Amino acid sequence: MNTERCYSEARDYYAALGGDTEAAIEKTLSLPVSLHCWQLDDVRGFEGAAALEGGIQTTGNYPGAATNPEELLSDMEFALKFLPGKTRINLHASYAIFEKGMPRADRDALLPEHFAAWTEFAKKHGLAIDFNPTFFSHPMVKDGLTLSSPDENVRAFWIRHGIACIRIAEYFARETGKQCLLNFWMPDGLKETPADRYSPRSRMADSLDRILAAGYDKSLVAVSLESKVFGIGLESYTVGSAEFCTSYSIKNGLVPLMDNGHYHPTESVADKISSMLLFSEKVALHVTRAVRWDSDHVTRFDDEIREIALEIVRGGPERFFLALDYFDASINRLAAWITGYRAFRKALLWASVWPIKELAAAQEANDFTSVLVKSEEIKTAPFSLVWAEYCRRADVPADASWLNPVLDYEKAILPSRTNR
């Protein structure tokens, strides 16, 4: 295949439909997407947690999960070669690295120095860092509650954790020179129908107030709040529901974060985005794939993700914090990581070549016939050729040939790892 000729034909094809492939490629390449470290070890972290808690679940026992910082960082280093576009890394507080001689610290006493190895890694690879306090898989989660607990000691512990994470996020931003998104997700909820829905929510709001009262430099840190509809074992009530998190965020100048696995199956995050953008300067997303429930399957280039990507492009990508969030333990974890990232990149590129203004103008003119016909036609335009050009410019393989080195890595490196 003469790739140059193929691309120029695809460019002309799109141009005839009103799409600009050159602008789309350049824009998508520079759009930062944050890649979560937790796909590589099934959200275990480095604290030796016995089990994943907080209403989330990884399923599968594919061999070779990273079991310590060295393994996780070398997996990441290896996979970065196959990720086209500007990448950020997304860490959880449970991934603190206590280097030789450093005494361990509990979550409420974490310090920037416990993340020095991550900063070094990020600098080496020119990556920015996003961060998440970890409100799950810890003995201080009492009866499924953290910041909304009626137990003052429990709340105080998690408030200290939140403040510690703000300081760490500021440190990341100072070290990397890039603003850090600090995302709060609390699993707090109840298995049974509550007798009182109001009190836990008012305590949650008060705890967040107390964390934010510690103050932070907004040029360094953006704080987001992620809502959820339910979790395993917390089926009847989630304190941080969509209404709670959106209202709190808008009132307090935080960034609302929508994870597309956190809604009822027929709800559409793509549809919600424009409402958020009307009332919030920025919107944050966790891009995932929910199969029947918040199953966190690997993100794919599917209808839901493409519609979300269209809304990102229409809204102006600079108004978004984009992150991925999935964890599948049933397949090669590196391949899962890379696949989800590439799928979302594809969706962003795909949405960027749409003749968005033209179609919007047709809608405004009540020309719904053109909107339908043209949207249908563009779906089968020669997108793979534009993707191939995109990957060529990013210096990564455009096709699935990246899987071969990943499988070689699996054969050479992973067997020595002990399954937990």
Residues identified as active-site = 185, 226, 228, 259, 262, 286, 294, 296, 325
Question: In whole angstroms, how close is the CB of 257 to ligand RNT at the nearest point?
Answer: 8
By C-alpha distance, which of 183, 168, 146 is closest to 55? Answer: 146
> Which CB sits closer to ligand RNT, 10 or 285?
285
Question: In whole angstroms, how close is the CB of 19 to ligand RNT at the nearest point?
Answer: 33
Candidate ranges 113-121, 194-202, 256-264, 341-349; the one touching Zn ion (CB under 5 A): 256-264
> Which CB sits closer to ligand RNT, 46 or 390?
46
How many residues interact with Zn ion (rule CB under 5 A)? 3
Residues that bind ligand RNT (CB under 6 A): 38, 43, 56, 132, 185, 226, 228, 259, 286, 294, 325
Question: In whole angstroms, how close is the CB of 323 to Zn ion at the nearest point?
Answer: 8
Could you say which of ligand RNT, Zn ion, none residue 43 binds, taking C-beta under 5 to 8 angstroms by partner kind? ligand RNT
Question: In whole angstroms, how close is the CB of 288 to ligand RNT at the nearest point?
Answer: 7
Give the span between the Cα atoms of 376 and 193, in whole angstroms: 45
Could you say which of Zn ion, ligand RNT, none residue 132 binds, taking C-beta under 5 to 8 angstroms by partner kind? ligand RNT
The single residue among 71, 170, 175, 259 that binds Zn ion, judged by CB under 5 A, is: 259
Could you say which of Zn ion, ligand RNT, none residue 294 binds, taking C-beta under 5 to 8 angstroms by partner kind? ligand RNT
Taking residues 184 to 223 in sequence order and writing x for each that binds Zn ion by CB under 5 A, - otherwise, the string is ----------------------------------------
Which residues lie closer than 8 Å to 37 by C-beta, 6 or more apart? 72, 76, 89, 90, 91, 92, 95
Residue that is written with structure tokens 């600009």 in the block = 20
> Which CB sits closer to Zn ion, 91 or 386?
91
By C-alpha distance, which of 95, 98, 103 is closest to 46? Answer: 95
Could you say which of ligand RNT, Zn ion, none residue 389 binds, taking C-beta under 5 to 8 angstroms by partner kind? none
Candidate ranges 145-153, 257-265, 332-340, 402-410; the one touching Zn ion (CB under 5 A): 257-265
> Which CB sits closer to ligand RNT, 43 or 334?
43
Could you say which of ligand RNT, Zn ion, none residue 345 binds, taking C-beta under 5 to 8 angstroms by partner kind? none
> Which CB sits closer to ligand RNT, 170 or 325?
325
> Which CB sits closer to Zn ion, 176 or 183?
183
∠ CA 364-367-368, rounded to 5°: 100
> Which CB sits closer to ligand RNT, 75 or 259?
259
CB atoms within 10 A of CB 144: 21
Give the span between the Cα atoms of 101 and 335, in whole angstroms: 35
- 374 belongs to the binding site for Zn ion (CB under 5 A): no
Could you say which of Zn ion, ligand RNT, none residue 38 binds, taking C-beta under 5 to 8 angstroms by partner kind? ligand RNT
- 286 belongs to the binding site for Zn ion (CB under 5 A): yes
Could you say which of ligand RNT, Zn ion, none residue 157 binds, taking C-beta under 5 to 8 angstroms by partner kind? none
Could you say which of Zn ion, ligand RNT, none residue 228 binds, taking C-beta under 5 to 8 angstroms by partner kind? ligand RNT
> Which CB sits closer to ligand RNT, 10 or 225?
225
Give the span between the Cα atoms of 416 and 414, in whole angstroms: 5
User: What is the 3-state secondary structure of the chain?
Assistant: CCHHHHHHHHHHHHHHHCCCHHHHHHHHHCCCEEEEHHHHCCCCCCCCCCCCCCCCCCCCCCCCCCCCHHHHHHHHHHHHHHCCCCEEEEEEHHHCCCCCCCCCCCHHHCCHHHHHHHHHHHHHCCCEEEEECCCCCCCCCECCECCCCCCHHHHHHHHHHHHHHHHHHHHHHHHHCCCEEEEECCCCEECCCCCCCHHHHHHHHHHHHHHHCCCCCCCCEEEEEECCCCECCECCEECCCHHHHHHHHHHHCCEEEEECCCCCCCCCHHHHHHHHHHHCCCEEEEECEEECEEEEECCCCCHHHHHHHHHHHHHCHHHEEEEECCCCCCCCHHHHHHHHHHHHHHHHHHHHCCCHHHHHHHHHCCCHHHHHHHHHHHHCCCHHHHHHHHHHHHCCCCCHHHHHHHHHHHHHHHHHCCCC
Pairing of strands 283-287, 255-259: parallel
Question: In whole angstroms, how close is the CB of 58 to ligand RNT at the nearest point?
Answer: 10
Question: In whole angstroms, how close is the CB of 262 to Zn ion at the nearest point?
Answer: 7
Question: In whole angstroms, how close is the CB of 120 to Zn ion at the nearest point?
Answer: 27
The single residue among 53, 296, 325, 389 that binds Zn ion, judged by CB under 5 A, is: 325
Question: In whole angstroms, how close is the CB of 384 to Zn ion at the nearest point?
Answer: 30
Chain positions contacting Zn ion, by CB under 5 A: 259, 286, 325
